[in-house]
Structure 1
Amino acid sequence: MNEVAQICSDLIRFDTTNPGSGERPAAEHVAGLLSDVGIEPTVFESARNRTSVVARIPGDSPEALLIHGHLDVVPAEPADWQVHPFSGEVVDGCVWGRGAVDMKGTLSMTLALVRDWARRGVRPKRDIVLAFLADEEATGEYGSRYAATRRRELFDGCTEAISESGGYSVQAPDARIYPVAVGERGTAWMKLTAHGVAGHGSRPPKDNAVAELCHALSRIASYQWPVRLTPGVAALIAGLADILGEKIDYDRLEEEAERLGQAGALFKAQIRNSANPTMLEAGYKVNVVPGTATAHVDGRFLPGYREEFLETIDRLLGPKVTREFVNIEDAPSAPLDSPFFGRLCDALVAEDPAARPVPYVMSGGTDAKSFADIGIKGYGFAPLMLSPELDYYGMFHGVDERVPVEGLEFGVRVLDRLLTS
């Protein structure tokens, strides 16, 4: 097995499930891989076993590029998988396991590359700051937020960053599309509370908190958010129309997204805000009307539409339901007309002449939000060539997550071109 695949397998074998026992063993392993080749790591904890690693590789320019990724993964139920999710086995040319795609495969590409540089004496064109972080699969409080605020000095000189959720191949008829993320939707995780009058379940209802909350959740769940085309999404749709050689009807974008399959999935969730009820809690006995009822809602808003989102939520909640934030983070964006974005695209085309890069806005969120708060422009760029039959989106937090060994090798070559040319 080559080094990038071996590193990926080894990282997957560390069970860094979040919530769980923490990232420390995996972080120490990463620190060892760096120190073994003379790269000095900084290892720090935000809480017991919530461990991150940062290292700087000097380049020809003090202006630095940040490459960040997370060590934690979401839970996996072994009984649901064909191959044990923490085995790191290589089967049918793929490394299997939780985190193969999200995102230990990407970490392994970075580690394999910088270890090779160290052995060959290669010096990048600019300083490279590597960050292997805890807690991305929650709020980042114990990872990127802590690092960006409490260890800010480690990121001095960083102007741009690259990380997950971009640079991977999407197969379309006669083309391989590579979305490169220039932004992501903001996060508004909210706890809703309805207050009513507690009483006996047999009495006529009066300000029933459960009913009031259900009415509010129904209004939120059934609301059709208006289409809002941000510059990044508009550029994506225009690019897809050019690549596919066909017109995309802007008045029917949801239907067009379905029609275009994997290519359409690149913008289906990114054309509007969203709010999904995810948790409910109320009552303790069938014949008692509780005085309060609570729910949680996962809200996401497009860059530039935070206020519109919150005003709409407040209107849908009505006067008897209040909200508080569990987590609120703005929607970051990076310029798609920058020379750096062009270099990202050029590196892909250099390794895959059939590549057609397009700008992209992520529907979810990453640690890029924390680094945007300290002025670092984040791009989603974890280059990966995928087989057309692999459902990339389905493997994010899904079962049978796996990454092709050849895809990892492709990613190492693309990153090498980007960082040394």
Structure 2
Amino acid sequence: MPAHAVPLLQDLIRINTVNPPGDEGQCVAYVERLLSAAGISTKIFGLDDRRTNLIARIPGRGEAPPLLLHAHSDVVGVTGQNWLYPPFDGLLVDGEVWGRGAIDMKGGLAMMLAALLNLRERGESPAGDVVLAVVADEEAGSESGAGFLVREHPELFDDVRYAIGEEGGAGVELGGVRFHPIVVAEKRAAWLRLRLRGAGGHGSRLAPPDATIARLGGVLTALSGVRLPRHPTAAADRMLAALSDALPEPLAAEVARLRHDNVRDAVPSGLPLEEALLLDSVLRHTVNPTVVRASDKINVLPSEITVDLDGRILPGEFTMAGFLREVQDLVGHDGELEVLLEGEKVPADIAEPEFGPFYECLTGVLRKLDPMGVPLPMVTPASTDARLFARLGIRCYGWLPLRLPPGSGHRRLLHVANERVPVDALEFGTDCLTELLLGYR
């Protein structure tokens, strides 16, 4: 019987792999049973039995180099979110599969599995060997997942030249045009902690003007109200050019203006807010305050306050030192900056995106199966496991096609309540992956 992505996704959603703690081992066990039943051998690797990773190598026809398909099995939590349907029931409602991970990224894993199992069922082989990696921990730094595999078992990816993975939240909805993102570059994490120190006091007394709680207000205002300087990159320029070429006026002109205007302190005008913020985010480093910690006593003026900052550094040769200088200039020197995490930099020899035959193969599949859609080279403001596999010299692309209705907003449901994906989109993605596996070069 042919495999379908929908029931596979429903099963995957019902396996709760919220990270932390992850517990991805139960998801890996499910995938292992599926593949074993189809005669596909697997290997399991992990730091412990609960945080495991699966590797399967499906022999190809020898007409192309090995191709890596990587998917993470963990998901973010749902605490404090108001869901219309239970987030781990995997319900099918009005032609959509609901649940945490529907798009990020158990939906992608389901499409990969369906494509591979259907080829097996039909007795067909992919153009080259396919390495499937189902990995843990992507949502919390990848230490137990792709980081572990790349560090401890690089031999698993010998001879792999290209990789397909998630899009990292990329996606543009403008002008009624259906864009299919192909992520060719991504930013890397630069997580910081800003520490403010000063005299504390009793909560019953007026706080002095230089109290830490007063200074916190100035810091948060600076971080939330001003953009960091803009830095041009070839990948972002190509993205904007392709986007402008595909859009009707006046949107085309507004996007074209982004290629040349150095907008620092205002949201780009003339574009819908969501799209304006996304595009502006890949033209500069970004930093956002996300966690504030102070006293846990209501009657105490805190003597120390920390603010955790989610920073993202543009792809290329930009450094943590340069990013820190920009953040320090923004918040002033009233406080200490500590680096909590620096994301891996893509090696210099493959840092620039490659738009050669494999990229053309990706766009060709999209144009064949969706003539009305527009393939779009994207820089994503997020980071994925691609940054780790790239350290092995693998060219990585974020490419999990979903034929979504323009303006549907499904790509904005990552990490928020009511995440869901249309059945038609899953079937389209499965067809695209199948076409790619059979004909890539």
TM-score exceeds 0.5 = yes
**1:401 counterpart (419, 422, 430):** 419
Aligned to 2:17, the other structure's residue is in SS state: coil
CA distance 1:2–1:257, change in 2 (3 Å): farther
Structure 2 counterpart of 1:119: 121
Q: Does 1:237 align with 2:254?
A: no
Find 2:337's aligned residue among 307, 319, 323: 323
Aligned to 2:231: 228
Structure 1: distance between partners of 2:438 and 2:200: 67
Between 118-127 and 400-409, report the one with greater CA deviation.
Answer: 118-127
Preserved CA contact (<8 Å) 2:78 2:417? yes
CA deviation after TM superposition for structure 1 residue 228, in Å? 2.5
Q: Please, which runs of 5 or more residues in structure 1 have no aligned partner?
A: none
Q: Is the 8 A contact 2:178 2:406 kept in 1?
A: no
> How far, CA to CA, are the matches of 2:35 and 2:277 in structure 1?
37
- Which moves more between the two structures, 60-69 or 377-386? 60-69
Q: Which moved more, 1:227-236 or 1:26-35?
A: 227-236
Contact 1:166 1:178 in 2 (8 A): no
1:249 and 2:267 are equivalent in the alignment: no
Q: Does residue 381 of the first structure (1) align with residue 404 of the second (2)? A: no
Return 77-86 or 236-245, whichever deviates more: 77-86
Residues 320-369 of structure 1, C-alpha deviations (whole Å, 9 max, x = no match): 42222222114545524222111111111111111211210011111112
Name the counterpart of 2:155: 153
| Larger CA deviation: 233-242 vs 309-318 | 309-318
Q: Residue 164 of structure 1 contacts residue 382 of structure 1 at CA under 8 Å; is this kept in 2?
A: yes
Structure 1 match to 2:98: 96
Identity %: 37
**2:52, 2:135 within 8 Å by CA — same for their partners in 1?**
yes
1:372 aligns with 2:375: no
Does residue 163 of the first structure (1) align with residue 171 of the second (2)? no
Distance 1:390 1:282, change over 3 A: same
Match of 2:288 in 1: 276
Using the TM superposition, name which of 16-25 and 260-269 deviates more: 260-269
Report the alpha carbon displacement of residue 212 of structure 1 after superposing the two structures with TM. 4.8
The answer for the alignment partner of 2:328 in structure 1 is 314
Provide the residue aligned with 1:354 in structure 2: 372
- Which residue identity does 1:281 align to in structure 2? R
Report Cα offsets for 1:171-196 as digits up to 9, x if no partner: 65464221211111111111222333
Look up the SS of the partner of 2:342 in the other structure.
Answer: strand
Shift of 1:262: 7.1
Q: Name the CA distance, whole Å, in 2 between partners of 1:199 and 1:275.
A: 31
Counterpart residue identity of residue 84, structure 1: P
- Cα distance in structure 1, aligned partners of 2:431 and 2:277: 27
Per the TM alignment, residue 11 of structure 1 is displaced from its structure 2 partner at its CA by: 0.5
Other structure's SS at 2:140 match: coil
Q: Which of 52-61 and 281-290 deviates more?
A: 281-290
Q: Quick one: which amino acid aligns to residue 362 of structure 1? A: T
Once the two structures are TM-superposed, the CA of residue 169 in structure 1 deviates from its matched residue by: 7.7
User: Partners of 1:214 and 1:105 in 2: how far apart?
Assistant: 41
Change over 3 Å in CA distance of 1:214–1:77 after alignment to 2:
closer
Instruction: Identify which of 249, 257, 267 aligns with 2:279.
Output: 267
DSSP-derived class of the 1:345 partner: helix
TM-fit CA distance, 1:390: 2.3
Query: What is the letter of the counterpart of residue 54 of structure 2?
Result: V
> Which residue of the partner structure matches residue 355 of structure 2?
337
The separation in 2 between residues aligned to 1:55 and 1:180, in whole angstroms, is 25
Instruction: For 1:346 and 1:208, locate their aligned partners in 2 and report how far apart those are by CA, in whole Å.
Output: 60
State the alpha-carbon separation in 2 of the partners of residues 323 and 47 from structure 1.
34
1:229, CA displacement in angstroms? 2.9
Match for 1:294: what amino acid?
T
- Per the normalisation by structure 2, the TM-score is 0.86
1:37 paired to 2:38: yes
2:419 partner letter: E
* Structure 1 length-normalised TM: 0.90
Structure 2, unmatched stretches of 5+, are: none
Task: State the distance in 2 between where 1:169 and 1:295 align.
Answer: 30
Q: 1:356 to 1:261 in 2, by over 3 A?
A: farther
Distance 1:365 1:79, change over 3 A: closer
Within the candidate set 72, 90, 99, 1:70 is matched to 72
CA contact (8 A) 1:166 1:179 kept: no
Aligned to 1:131: 133
Amino acid of the structure 2 residue aligned with 1:100: A
Distance 2:49 2:194 in 1: 31
CA gap of 1:379–1:318, structure 2 versus 1, over 3 A, is same
SS at match of 2:396: strand
Q: Contact (CA 8 Å) 2:169, 2:412: kept in 1 or not?
A: no
Q: 1:374 to 1:21 in 2, by over 3 A?
A: closer
Q: What amino acid is the match of 1:72?
A: D
Superposed displacement of residue 224, structure 1 = 2.2
- Structure 1 range deviating more: 245-254 or 124-133: 245-254
- How well do the aligned residues superpose, as a CA RMSD in angstroms? 2.8
